[in-house]
Each structure stands twice: as structure tokens, then as C-alpha cells.
């Protein structure tokens, strides 16, 4: 395992979970792991939103983690793994932390409680209890347009003081809030954007990296955006960003991760575009659009 506070930066991939005939497709999962372990990826998120984690049983989550870790070992390159968890019952979340305490992970990505809309005091108490209880460090996930409650910067800065809370996946949808958090955060508290379409903007504002579903495609280009910015090459970073900016729209035209799974299936990285209900596979119109974009990018690469 790693020092998560040190490694929570750069380009993290919220890995899709491949299915076939209703089951976890371990063959495709191994292929995905081999492929992205060889790319410029700094860490994996498993079983979160992009990984359809809310449809995965505990045994499937455990198998998912074990398969990815084993495949990385076989490839002789290891990157940190965060397990995505979400829930609206603090005690049930503690139970999930206990169930996964001895899994080969490096930490958790935990979303705000959904639907119940707790107060800021409730959010603070919820995450402090989980952080006190967890065997591994926590990264918070603030995504109010899914959970119906926004963690304010006052709450986030209080939580950032906890020794077992090391960072944030930021989807607050407010640039002003993000900039203020980046300005006021304590040293060592990492902020990674989860808004694919705002990746370049967030990095320019000082974010430490991104957790990006779109980086399943053109992974090296997404990584190069940050590399060029770090080197002070703003024009080069913008040019690389413009190569992939349209992907961040296309891959969210229908509910994610169905479009990305279709792309990965069409390009041979997974054996089926299958998703689990209530998600459904993409419609024929988007499929045709993605096919044209895949063909175009193949021609450009050639």
C-alpha cells in the first residue's frame, strides 16, 4: 500500500466495471487493467459511480479489487487503488469499511450521503465518524447535483484537518467555491476535479489533478495537459486539451458510463458494452456518432 496523501495527484481513472451476461467479466477486467497500468495513470478508483458500484455486491467488489491488484502485480507496475463507497446510513457505511478493511486497497473515495440531505453539521459528523473508523485514508467526494447537498468550504476545511482525510474529488459545479477552497486548504490536502469538461480550467486554477471517466480514451493526451502546465507550457497544454475536450461532451451525452463502455467495446478493450439496470446501453443515434468519432481518431493516429 502507499502513502495516499503523497500519491493523490495527477490523473486518476475511475475504472469502468465490465459485465457479460450479468456477471463480472474478469477477462475484460484483466485486459483493462493491463492496458491502463501501461498508460500515464497515477491511480485507479474502483466501484465508484463510473464503475457502477451501487449495483455491485460485496463479493463482486472484493473480486474486482483482487483481480485488479493481481493483474498489476503481474504487469510489475502498481498504482494506488481507492475503493468507491456511497450510502446514506452512517452505520451501514461503517459496516462496509469493516468488510473491506483487509482488502488490498490504499484508501476510499466516499460520496456525501444521498437523498436524505443532511445539514452541514450532519455531514461533518458523518465523515468524521467514518474517518475515525476507517482502516485506510479517505478522500471525500462532493457532488451536490447527485446527492442533493453541497459540502460548503467551511465543512470541507474542518474535515481537511482530520488526519485520516487526505483529499477531495471536487464536483461542486461552482468555480468560485473551488478557487476559494484551493486558496484556503491546509498543506497536503489534495483537490482533484471530477468534472471532465472543466479539467483544463481546474488545473489552471491550481487543482492537483483529475479523476476523469473520459481519460479511458486518449489517456496520454489527458495526462499531457497537466504535464505541459507543470512545465509552464500554457499554449501546449491548451493545444493538448483541445484534442480531447470534445470527448468530455460526447462521453456524457447519455448517462455515464454507458457511452464509454460502448467505445471500449468497439475498440476491443472490453467484450461487451453491458451495463446494469437502471442504466441502459446507449441508443443507436449516439452509437453512430461514437462510431464516426472512433473512425476519425483512428485515421488521425495513422
Structural contact between residues 32 and 229, judged by C-beta atoms closer than 8 angstroms? no
Q: Nearest CA to 48 among 19, 86, 80, 78?
A: 86
Of 36, 169, 199, 261, which one is the catalytic site residue? Answer: 169
141 included as an active-site residue: yes
Q: Which of 30, 36, 115, 141 is flagged as catalytic?
A: 141
Q: How far apart are CA 148 and CA 53, in angstroms?
A: 19
Residue 204: helix, strand or coil by DSSP?
Answer: helix
Report how far apart the first and last C-alpha atoms of the chain are (Å, whole number): 39
Contact call for residues 166 and 190 (beta carbons, < 8 A): yes
The size of the chain, in residues, is: 302
SS3 7: helix
User: CA-to-CA distance for 48 and 54, rounded, in angstroms?
Assistant: 8
Q: Is 236 helix (H, G, I), strand (E, B) or coil?
A: helix
> CA torsion, points 110, 114, 120, 126, in degrees to nearest 10?
-50
SS3 track for 54-107: HHCCHHHHHHHHHHHHHHHHHHCCCCCEEEEECCCCHHHHHHHHHHCCCCCCCE
Q: Is 169 marked active-site?
A: yes
Which residues, other chains included, contact 158 with Cβ-Cβ below 8 Å and sequence gap of 6+? 124
Residues tagged active-site = 141, 169
Amino acid at each position: 500500500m502507499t502513502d495516499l496523501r503523497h500519491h493523490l495527484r495527477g490523473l486518476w481513472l475511475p475504472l469502468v466495471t465490465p459485465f457479460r451476461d450479468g456477471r463480472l467479466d474478469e477477462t475484460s477486467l484483466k485486459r483493462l487493467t493491463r492496458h491502463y497500468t501501461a498508460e500515464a495513470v497515477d491511480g485507479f478508483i474502483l466501484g465508484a459511480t463510473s464503475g457502477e458500484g451501487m449495483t455491485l455486491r460485496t463479493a463482486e467488489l472484493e473480486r474486482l479489487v483482487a483481480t485488479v491488484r493481481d493483474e498489476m502485480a503481474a504487469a510489475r507496475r502498481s498504482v494506488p487503488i481507492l475503493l468507491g463507497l456511497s450510502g446514506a446510513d452512517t452505520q451501514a457505511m461503517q459496516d462496509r469499511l469493516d468488510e473491506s478493511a483487509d482488502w488490498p486497497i490504499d484508501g476510499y473515495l466516499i460520496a456525501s450521503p444521498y437523498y436524505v440531505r443532511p445539514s452541514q453539521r450532519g455531514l461533518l459528523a458523518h465523515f468524521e465518524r467514518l474517518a475515525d473508523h476507517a482502516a485506510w485514508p479517505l478522500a471525500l467526494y462532493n457532488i451536490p447535483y447527485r446527492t442533493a447537498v453541497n459540502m460548503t468550504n467551511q465543512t470541507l476545511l474542518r474535515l481537511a484537518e482530520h488526519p485520516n482525510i487526505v483529499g477531495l474529488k471536487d464536483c461542486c459545479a461552482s468555480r468560485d467555491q473551488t478557487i476559494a477552497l484551493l486558496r484556503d486548504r491546509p498543506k497536503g490536502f489534495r483537490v482533484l476535479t471530477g468534472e471532465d469538461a472543466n479539467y483544463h480550467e481546474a488545473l489552471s486554477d491550481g487543482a492537483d489533478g483529475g479523476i476523469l471517466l473520459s481519460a479511458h480514451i486518449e489517456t496520454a493526451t489527458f495526462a499531457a495537459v497537466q504535464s505541459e502546465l507543470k512545465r509552464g507550457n500554457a499554449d501546449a497544454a491548451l493545444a493538448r486539451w483541445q484534442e480531447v475536450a470534445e470527448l468530455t461532451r460526447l462521453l456524457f451525452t447519455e448517462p455515464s458510463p454507458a457511452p464509454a463502455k460502448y467505445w471500449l467495446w468497439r475498440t476491443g478493450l472490453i467484450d461487451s458494452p453491458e451495463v446494469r439496470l437502471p442504466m441502459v446501453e446507449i441508443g443507436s443515434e449516439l452509437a453512430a456518432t461514437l462510431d464516426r468519432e472512433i473512425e476519425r481518431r483512428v485515421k488521425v493516429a495513422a
